[in-house]
Amino acid sequence: MSTDLVESTITPGVASIGFVGLGNVGGKLAGSVVRNGFDLVVHDLDGTLVDGFVAAGAGAAGTPRNLAGRCDVVITCLPSPAASSAVVEGPDGLLAGWGEGKIWLEMSTTDETEITRLGELVVAAGGEPVDCPVSGGCHRAATGNISIFAGCERSTFERVLPLLSVLGRRVLHTGPLGTASVLKVATNYLATANLITLAEALTTMAAAGVDLGTTYEAFRISSGNSFVHETESQVILNGSRDISFTMDLVLKDIGLFQSIADRVGVPLEMNPVMIDIFRDAAKRYGLREWSPNVIRRLEDATGVSVRASGFPSVLVDDEAEAAGAEVIVRTDS
């Protein structure tokens, strides 16, 4: 990396981007990188996913080490803290190919202590770490309209904002490294609580004989509305239950939230119950079952089918792609 690039913002034609992890979310985020004119190199254990990006003009790297040596910015989007650790510090990991001035964007939903630990290793190797998890669903990741939290030094944030602004519509600088990960698992806790209560509400309405199409609209225009209702309730009612997010990931996220609460001494009451509900659902239907199928526990218990016609099997973002921008935090001044 040149001295000029160390000081410059990350824009197309200036920096090369590496992306590790082309799964449900990562593949869509990497698609935004290509679509917006950045030079991209990818790596994934699934060669068919890599081949698809190569066909779209990206380069391929056989190992994270090779990718890091070829790129100025490296993005990881992986399913667990353990996977991130292996990619960053494994024998052929990113750090083995690291260099002065490179930037690591960790877009996985991960543990605050782990991102801080790995971030310190990146800093020691001359790099700049950012934890920048996303929120808003795979359908919004596909269009570059997802929200992004970014925890890092302010100077680093300003360098990567042009890149984050093509990956997401709303970009929030949350403070130091690790703060974004804390906030992300809190938002996933809230979304999970909403999903469970929606499953109960929809099943109760179905059992009471209320039309479920009418129920959807009643919830949508009421004080009970939410992002989760407007998205996940649709695929619940369709019957596909496909939001590209699985029960094992829910358990990971609400487990991380529980760990934060335990560490800071907050005696949570709802989250332990939610963990038990999803553990039971995962035991019944499988860890890789779509998370909205937590409603099957209630369908099985009641014999009620919670389905209605006219709803999509998968979610599609109907908001046009547009340039993102920083979300400004309110202050007294």
Q: What is the pLDDT of residues 307-329, one digit of tens each?
A: 999 999 999 988 888 889 999 99
Rounded mean pLDDT, 99-111: 95
Q: 205: domain CATH number?
A: 1.10.1040.10
Rounded mean pLDDT, 165-188: 97
Number of domains in the chain: 2
Give the span between the Cα atoms of 331 and 231, in whole angstroms.
Answer: 32
Task: Judge if 229 and 125 occupy the same domain.
Answer: no
Q: 72: domain CATH number?
A: 3.40.50.720
Domain of 211, in residue numbers: 183-302
Residues 6+ apart with CB under 8 A from 252: 79, 80, 109
Task: Judge if 160 and 249 occupy the same domain.
Answer: no
Among 160, 177, 194, the domain-final residue is 177
Task: Judge if 58 and 165 occupy the same domain.
Answer: yes
Rounded mean pLDDT, 125-147: 95
Asked, for residue 142, whether it belongs to a domain, the answer is: yes
Task: Judge if 151 and 34 occupy the same domain.
Answer: yes
Task: Give the pLDDT band (50/70/90) at residue 1.
Answer: very low
Asked, for residue 333, whether it belongs to a domain, the answer is: no
pLDDT > 90: percent of the chain: 91
Task: Give the pLDDT band (50/70/90) at residue 8.
Answer: low
| pLDDT of the residue at 10 | 83
CA end-to-end span of the chain, whole Å? 39
pTM: 0.93
